[in-house]
């Protein structure tokens, strides 16, 4: 059975970048956002139920994120209804990944780790964090969200300070070097603990 690290952090705080650093240390990484991409793609398990609930969201046999963001922008209750459809499918994908891997450490990159029930199954939890002005700059620099869309997502997420309080480890992602040092220290401590057990 692999050691499970739950990795989370608010939007744009550096989850994917930090997950890649864990992968560089030999950890297997599963990414909840990537699982949603697979579920929304043509033939994905979310296409049919999402089409039934949000017919306008389907474009060329896939769930369109652009359309979904428009729908969420117009109706604040939509995101909750999307989650009810998508989250059970994401949970199935995650369990299948854990069952199939033989890595000693598995990192589960889950934006809603503390908002949902995910944290309880982890051996340890890691939160990535930077000051809010850096977070905003980074997200808006990507050019995939308007400021209003960013604020709508952020308002729905647990505040960064609360996540940091709940986490076993906090990785500061102001620079790549600093973050990589922290990731290496966490992995080394876990491997020492596993060797002693």
Ligand X SMILES: Nc1ncnc2c1ncn2[C@@H]1O[C@H](COP(=O)(O)OP(=O)(O)OP(=O)(O)O)[C@@H](O)[C@H]1O
Applying CB under 6 A, the residues found at the interface with ligand COD are 11, 32-33, 36, 65, 68-69, 72, 79, 82-83, 86, 90, 111-112, 144-145, 153, 156-157
Tell the smallest beta-carbon distance from residue 3 to ligand COD (Å): 22
Pick one of 4, 11, 34, 152: the residue that binds ligand X (CB under 6 A): 11
In the block, tokens 């994120």 appear at 65
DSSP letter at 111 equals: T
| Of residues 17 and 95, the one with the C-beta less far from ligand X | 17
CA–centroid distance for 60 within its chain: 26
Please report the DSSP string for 37-97 in residue order.
HHHHSTT-TTHHHHHHH-GGGEETTEE-HHHHHHHHHH-TTHHHHHHHHHHHHHHHHHHHH
Segment 105 to 134, residues that bind ligand X, using CB under 6 A: 111
Q: What's the min distance (Å) between Cβ of 20 and ligand X? A: 8
**β-strand partners of 127:** 8, 170
Does 69 bind ligand X (CB under 6 A)? Our answer is no
Cα–Cα distance for residue pair 118/27, rounded to 1 Å: 19
Q: Which of 3, 5, 7, 15 binds ligand X (CB under 6 A)?
A: 15
Q: Residue 37 contacts by C-beta under 8 Å, 6 or more apart in sequence?
A: none
Binding site per annotation, positions for ATP: 12-17
Q: Point out the residue whose Cβ comes nearest to ligand X.
A: 14
Positions touching ligand X (CB under 6 A) are 9, 11-17, 33, 111, 138, 173, 175-176, 179
């Amino acid at each position: 059975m692999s050691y499970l690290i739950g990795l989370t952090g608010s939007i744009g705080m550096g989850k994917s970048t930090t997950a890649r650093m864990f992968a560089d240390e030999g950890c297997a990484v599963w990414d909840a956002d990537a699982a949603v991409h697979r579920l929304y793609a043509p033939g994905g398990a979310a296409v049919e139920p999402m089409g039934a609930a949000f017919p306008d969201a389907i474009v060329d046999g896939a769930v369109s994120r652009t359309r979904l963001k428009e729908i969420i922008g117009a109706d604040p209750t939509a995101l909750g209804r999307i989650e009810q459809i998508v989250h059970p499918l994401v949970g199935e994908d995650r369990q299948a990944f854990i069952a199939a891997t033989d890595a000693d450490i598995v990192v589960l990159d889950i934006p809603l780790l503390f908002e949902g029930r995910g944290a309880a199954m982890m051996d340890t939890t890691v939160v990535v964090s930077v000051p809010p002005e850096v977070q905003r700059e980074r997200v808006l620099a990507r050019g995939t969200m308007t400021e209003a869309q960013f604020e709508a997502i952020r308002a729905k997420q647990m505040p960064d300070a609360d996540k940091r309080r709940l986490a076993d480890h906090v990785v500061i992602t102001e620079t790549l070097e600093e973050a990589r040092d922290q990731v290496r220290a966490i992995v080394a401590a876990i491997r020492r603990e596993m060797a002693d057990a």
